[in-house]
């Protein structure tokens, strides 16, 4: 059996195994570890879970999520109801600061705007609305704003990577920061390591955006 077929079959089995994903209408394509997901799922959390499931499979070096969220009549909300629900969810989340707002259209697409001080706060806003009934997609236009320009961002991120139990000693990650934008380069073995590196970068005070150029070798 070819490696290409092995990876595709493994991803299909992983999605079928995951209770958070209805994989009946999901198709998996693989080219040398570069996996593409197409088809439909019934909710936005399943859209996210499908990509996460594919990343858990050994040999997967890239995931392109082209799944479409198709809502049932029972889970549809018009723009007014979904906007209200999304803003209520933001207000009830203690991690999301005041001033972050959500707007939704009649197709279930939610856009987040406003300003936060940390990447973790922006991620919390996404999480707060992602699981709402009626959401098909989330666009994050939240800005990260700092009162002063922090220094030694690269050093702080590298120290965080050295502390991380998820980042293997054989992995090599380079960091370069300009104007609050940190670029990550190098290679890691698994997507778990990749996600740990990206999360560490977002946790650093002073980072307003992350350019992810890390290669997952599998």
DSSP at 14: H
Structure confidence at residue 19 (pLDDT): 96
pLDDT at site 136: 97
The tokens 């007014």 sit on which residue? 80
- In CATH, the architecture of 76-144 is 2-Layer Sandwich (3.30)
* Predicted local confidence at residue 4, as pLDDT: 60
Write down the pLDDT at residue 43. 97
Domain at 153-216, CATH from 3.30.1340, 3.60.21, 1.10.3470, 1.10.730: 3.30.1340
Q: Which H or E element spans position 181?
A: strand 181-188
| Cβ atoms of 153 and 204 closer than 8 Å | yes
Q: Residues with Cβ < 8 Å from 95, sequence gap 6 or more?
A: 120, 121, 124
Res 166: pLDDT:
82
Q: Helix, strand, coil proportions of the chain in percent (round to 5)?
A: 40, 25, 35
Interatomic CA distance for residues 30 and 32, integer angstroms: 6
The two beta strands, 172-178 and 181-188, are antiparallel
Where does residue 206 fall: left (phi above 0), alpha (psi -120 to 50 degrees), or beta otherwise?
Answer: left
Distance CA 141, CA 145 (A): 13
| Rounded Cα gap, residues 117 and 146, in angstroms | 6
pLDDT by residue, tens only, the chain of 218 residues = 455 669 999 999 999 999 999 999 999 999 999 999 999 999 999 999 999 999 999 999 999 999 999 999 999 999 999 999 999 999 999 999 999 999 999 999 999 999 998 899 999 999 999 999 999 999 999 999 876 666 788 888 888 888 888 888 777 899 998 888 999 999 998 898 999 999 999 988 888 899 999 999 87
Q: pTM for this one?
A: 0.86
Rounded CA separation 68/41 (Å): 6
Fold assignment, 3-69: 3.30.1340
Nearest in space to 97 (alpha carbons), one of 83, 84, 116, 111 = 116
User: Residues spanned by CATH 3.30.1340.30 within the chain?
Assistant: 3-69
């Amino acid at each position: 059996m070819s490696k290409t077929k092995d990876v595709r079959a493994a991803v299909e089995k992983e999605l079928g195994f995951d209770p958070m994903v209805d994989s009946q209408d999901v198709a998996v394509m693989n080219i040398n570890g570069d996996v593409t997901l197409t088809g439909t799922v019934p909710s936005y959390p399943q859209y996210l879970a499908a990509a996460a499931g594919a990343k858990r499979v050994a040999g997967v070096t890239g995931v392109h999520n082209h799944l479409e969220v198709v809502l049932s009549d029972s889970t549809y909300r018009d723009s007014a109801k979904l906007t209200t629900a999304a803003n209520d969810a933001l207000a009830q989340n203690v991690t999301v600061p005041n001033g972050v707002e959500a707007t939704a259209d009649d197709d279930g697409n939610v856009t987040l705007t406003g300003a936060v001080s940390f990447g973790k706060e922006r991620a919390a806003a996404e999480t707060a609305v992602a699981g709402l009934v009626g959401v098909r997609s989330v666009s994050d236009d939240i800005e990260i704003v700092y009162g002063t320009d922090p220094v030694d961002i690269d050093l702080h991120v590298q120290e965080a990577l050295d502390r991380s139990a998820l980042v293997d000693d054989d992995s090599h990650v380079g960091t370069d920061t300009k104007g609050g934008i940190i670029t990550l380069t190098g290679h890691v073995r698994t997507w778990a390591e990749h996600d740990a590196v990206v999360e560490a970068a977002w946790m650093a005070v002073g980072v307003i955006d992350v350019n992810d150029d890390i290669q997952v070798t599998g």
